[in-house]
Structure 1
């Protein structure tokens, strides 16, 4: 099926298929060559979190000094998040009888990962990386019933401006690169218009947003976090992992690596936790890895299909419960990024996998159960094609479905 596929002949394809019961590789094509993994990178982030974090996400670190509560972020993405409904940190701030002071001094990293494209700064999937994210670090612009535009958080409303010189092909809102001025073209705003745009982060803005939401003063200080600082946990870790993997949430993936760094070192460093995980948990992979971010937005990431298969086997062993493992991942024909890609087999999914897409690249890596009951692990990677991604995706689905049906 692989060799005879006309669609797979015109680009770089790698495939590895592993049988769990017999503990052997069933088929390999270019499995020892390195591919750009895109969001398959999130599997590496997931495995790191499984090893470093416990059942709950550490939300903040804090100390009390006289009448003051001083706090540091851990990278926890759940504070006022759109879908991760956790209010423990918010209520802790809201009900504290201390004066609140936020210190950003445990993170000095960049707001973008290494190799991220600057021209995607206005796209919802490239929110900036921060120590204390709020509301997904993304502003939401909507058309009101009266035909005007609103933006949330409301602190940005005065920075939402009509610009007659801005003439995009279709109606869109664009943030200026270096600040939080959001411009939109003259003319009628389409019905139902909604756009999510990452805001330009800063410690001062974080303090202001938190103050605006809490309706109480939040000061900004610059203090080194003491090792004895207390930890307040925010949300069950599994709920964050599931959201990250099901919808391929880049923001959650990047922030989770910072949370791991906070747990290990106190300071927040993506590079440090990647190096720690690579040397401590991934040294037994069959090929060297080049891993630079949590989400896979960077094209600097490079993994081989057989290394991803090995990782998936390690994830399966770490989670232990196969049903629980499948619940984390998109299920073909049922949920997440594979809901529309596959058909089920008499109402039951047979593939659970992480997708990964960038321009000219599309991959799937995960688990497959055949009609004969064989439990397989696979990594199917496609790089550097110029045909529509839908054609490559459909061919991958056809082949994986045939494997399910025949074996």
Structure 2
């Protein structure tokens, strides 16, 4: 049997499934020119735990975002599906009968990654909700300041193994005790009509007036977003490099916030003042007592996990991992959160030798797991108390999340529920398959260091998964 996998994704010559075994298909698949020097690990098991297809399944490989399966499963098992993060509203000082708070409004951070998230109404909805709480508790003005107290996470949490290109952009937003607007801002650029000419920054939302932007982005003839923001914690300079399409009056990209607490203090103070509860900002001698008047709860963990796995939200995964660790404050690190995930996997009875975790999201290239470990985790969760919540958090081929467009119109549509992973020279997929004959399988495919384009490798994995869906005993 000869299979042709052209770089242009031309039509392929394949024999019907009944005329070729899955193993024979794979033997041809793995010999494609762009895969011959790649590190590839694959494991497919049926419902009885029998191996259907295997290749280097005990080799440690960089998993990219399929690692989120480990983190979200651990969070479900350790914290429970109804777990909520809690943020406390309180004040220090005296609230007089005229509604004037002679002191400071205190927000006690609780590690909630969803505060002000556009996925849950945005910063306007959060501001409106808390403004109503202030008025309902008789607070008509605040003579002091709005202060955020963070004792749950350390001041600096950028993982030491994340790359420079990632940490300035929205997907590299680092966790914070008080996260705000998913810890990212939107930047609007304007590009001239001339190819190669410099673009300019129009505005940022929310306003990032504490940062200085050096825009080195140029206009390009293509329609691609190839602009990246560079900068990290402790620096007020951000420079933007790359290209955006020419002739655009507005073109939006997203950057990560370096200090969400600072931005939230400014934004919330202004919002309250503009809507009837002035934050004056006077200095007050620190009061000895704190009066708590409201507890803000995050959405339930089950809902947050749905978003994390379907849309691969790195920030949420990092918050889950951090919260699994018993340390709080300056003692806590992203690496300790990752260690707690690994310990949780071990408690499930899964061998963790060869598992190297340094974050919760899979962003670091220092992470490594084996396909066998991921498959065993998936098999464990299929039988777990929270199985339905976990499985329904995965993307469905041709229908939702990161698998929607990949399998649109495919014979595998609706037959695969999985998590995808992608970073440069890494493609990974792991989850559950129901074959055309109704057989249930669990699988993991990880490909590291392939040649050629990411799109080509994605297409090849798609064809392999379609062949697995067509597999018969």
Q: Which structure has the greater CA radius of gyration?
A: 2
Distance 1:161 1:231, change over 3 A: closer
Establish whether residue 12 from structure 1 lines up as the match of residue 78 from structure 2. Answer: no
- Residue 179 of structure 1 corresponds to 235
Q: Contact between 1:79 and 1:90, CA under 8 Å: does it hold in 2?
A: no
Q: Aligned runs of 1:4-403 on 2, under 5 Å?
A: 4-5=28-29, 6-7=31-32, 8-20=35-47, 22-54=48-80, 55-61=82-88, 67=94, 70-85=106-121, 91-92=129-130, 95-96=133-134, 97=137, 100-108=146-154, 110-142=156-188, 149-156=202-209, 159=211, 166=216, 168=218, 170=220, 172=227, 174=229, 176-177=231-232, 178-181=234-237, 190-201=248-259, 203-215=261-273, 217=279, 232-261=296-325, 264=326, 267=329, 269-283=333-347, 284-288=349-353, 289-318=355-384, 320=386, 322=388, 324-344=389-409, 348-403=413-468
Q: Distance in 1 between matches of 2:412 and 2:342?
A: 39
- Residue 194 of structure 2 corresponds to none
Q: Distance in 2 between matches of 1:129 and 1:202?
A: 9
Which is further off, 61-70 or 94-103? Answer: 61-70
Give me the TM-score of the superposition, normalised by structure 1.
0.84
Please state how far the C-alpha of 1:334 moved relative to its aligned partner. 1.3
- Residue 2 of structure 1 corresponds to 26
Distance 1:174 1:345, change over 3 A: closer
Structure 1 unaligned spans of 5+: none
Distance 1:359 1:302, change over 3 A: same
Q: Distance in 1 between matches of 2:27 and 2:367?
A: 27
Structure 2 unaligned spans of 5+: 1-24, 95-103, 191-199, 221-225
Q: Secondary structure at the match of 1:26?
A: strand
Q: How many residues are treated as equivalent by the alignment?
A: 396
Q: Contact between 1:78 and 1:85, CA under 8 Å: does it hold in 2?
A: no
Render the CA deviation track for 1:108-154: whole Å, top value 9, x for unaligned.
2643224101232332211122111111111112258xx98121113
Q: Secondary structure at the match of 2:461?
A: helix
Q: Contact between 2:189 and 2:250, CA under 8 Å: does it hold in 1?
A: yes
Q: Secondary structure at the match of 1:47?
A: helix
Which is further off, 313-322 or 329-338? Answer: 313-322
Q: Secondary structure at the match of 1:139?
A: strand
Q: Secondary structure at the match of 1:406?
A: coil
Q: Secondary structure at the match of 1:3?
A: helix
Please state how far the C-alpha of 1:296 moved relative to its aligned partner. 0.6
Q: Contact between 1:285 and 1:311, CA under 8 Å: does it hold in 2?
A: yes
Give me the TM-score of the superposition, normalised by structure 2.
0.73
Establish whether residue 404 from structure 1 lines up as the match of residue 431 from structure 2. Answer: no
Please state how far the C-alpha of 1:65 moved relative to its aligned partner. 5.5
Q: Distance in 1 between matches of 2:374 and 2:294?
A: 37
Please state how far the C-alpha of 1:331 moved relative to its aligned partner. 1.1
Q: Distance in 2 between matches of 1:72 and 1:222?
A: 16
Render the CA deviation track for 1:356-385: whole Å, top value 9, x for unaligned.
111111110111000111110000010111
Render the CA deviation track for 1:211-241: whole Å, top value 9, x for unaligned.
2344454989999xx9x99964221222211
Q: Distance in 1 between matches of 2:303 and 2:286?
A: 32
Distance 1:140 1:245, change over 3 A: same
Q: Distance in 1 between matches of 2:365 and 2:58?
A: 18
Which is further off, 290-299 or 171-180? Answer: 171-180
Q: Contact between 1:71 and 1:102, CA under 8 Å: does it hold in 2?
A: yes
Which is further off, 396-405 or 65-74? Answer: 65-74
Q: Contact between 2:42 and 2:444, CA under 8 Å: does it hold in 1?
A: yes
Q: Distance in 1 between matches of 2:468 and 2:172?
A: 35
